Amino acid sequence: SDHALSYPLSPDAIDWAALYPTSPSTPEFADVGCGFGGLLIALAPLFPDTPMLGMEIRVQVSQYVQDRIAALRATAAANPQSAPPGAYQNVSIVRANSMKFMPNYFPKHSLSALFFLFPDPHFKARKHKARIISPTLLAEYAYILKPGGIVYTITDVRDLHEWMKAHLEAFPLFEPASEEDLRAEGKGPILDAVYSSTEEGKKVERNQGDKWLACFRRIEVARI
Ligand code: SAM
């Protein structure tokens, strides 16, 4: 339940310096339902100048990720051989229900990447409205993404994959981006992390499950 959560009125109301002490700014990558933080912790050293934010609704899990980031920062500062002194300053997490008020966190056209990795499937039809991809939420995602920004989705649940793909295809501000094209653009390291850096992705690997990837580009002008 999220009844105890309070929300910022706008991105301007957020203390970005508390999240990114060495260079406060709004994030460029967002990981929705980040779980234990594996994706962002893999990406942070690869894109040291890109601020990235995880959103996680569970109290203990978001606290765990916060502690994990603090420990990585402290290790980097104390032990320059292990990582550059400023390492992991670009990664942070908030406890939030990402189905509410995304635009209160991310300014218009501010994100270049938005991740939905192994989201909860909500199998039953009456639960589909709880899915993280829906026409209403896609309008918010289109608003916070830059034109050219990428939505990355991956799941081991084929029905959820078809659902996310169908909704993104039907939305006029997104066009499919093939894995091949994204790799040709230099986004291979991001895709590799999407496939296998998260705790859920590793679990699917251990169980030899399938992984269904679908990526979409936020286009400049709506298709009509
Ligand atoms: N992305 C991670 C991974 O790949 O390991 C976690 C996947 S886990 C199956 C789904 C996560 O989304 C859970 O940690 C859950 O608490 C979180 N979650 C579900 N609904 C959410 C919401 N509305 N806002 C934020 N996080 C949410």
Q: Does residue 123 lie within any of the structural domains?
A: yes
- Position 133 scores a pLDDT of 87
Q: Does residue 5 lie within any of the structural domains?
A: no
Instruction: Assign residue 194 the CATH number of its domain.
Output: 3.40.50.150
Q: Is ipTM > 0.85 here?
A: yes
Q: Which of 85-94, 108-117, 122-131, 136-145 is predicted with the least confidence, judged by mean pLDDT?
A: 122-131
156 is catalytic: no
The residue assigned the tokens 């409205």 is 129
Catalytic residue among 2, 120, 156, 192: 120
Q: Does residue 108 lie within any of the structural domains?
A: yes
Q: Which atom of ligand 1 is nearest to the CA of 97?
A: 24
Q: Does residue 224 lie within any of the structural domains?
A: no
Supply 15's token pair: 């203390």
The string of pLDDT tens digits covering residues 172-187 is 999 999 999 999 999 9
Characterize the bridge pairing of strands 174-176 and 212-218. antiparallel
Cβ–ligand 1 distance for 122 under 6 Å, the answer no
Q: Does residue 116 lie within any of the structural domains?
A: yes
Q: Does residue 89 lie within any of the structural domains?
A: yes
Q: Does residue 150 lie within any of the structural domains?
A: yes
Mean pLDDT of all residues in 9-13? 96
Q: Which atom of ligand 1 is nearest to the CA of 61?
A: 14
Q: pLDDT-based confidence at 129, cuts 50/70/90?
A: confident
Q: pLDDT-based confidence at 224, cuts 50/70/90?
A: low
Reported in sequence order, the residue ranges of 39-192 that DSSP labels E, i.e. its strands, are 52-56, 91-95, 111-117, 145-155, 174-176
- Rounded CA gap, 166 and 38, in Å? 27
Tell me how many domains the chain contains. Answer: 1
Which residue segment(s) compose the domain that 40 sits in? 11-218
Q: Does residue 26 lie within any of the structural domains?
A: yes
List the residue whose alpha carbon is closest to atom 18 of ligand 1: 33
Q: In angstroms, what is the span from residue 36 Cα to ligand 1's centroid? A: 9
Cβ–ligand 1 distance for 118 under 6 Å, the answer yes
Mean pLDDT of all residues in 88-104? 95
Q: pLDDT-based confidence at 125, cuts 50/70/90?
A: confident
Phi, psi of 217 (to 5 degrees): -105, 135
Supply 211's token pair: 């992984």
153 or 2: which carries more pLDDT confidence?
Answer: 153
Half-sphere exposure of 107 (CA within 13 A, CB side): 10
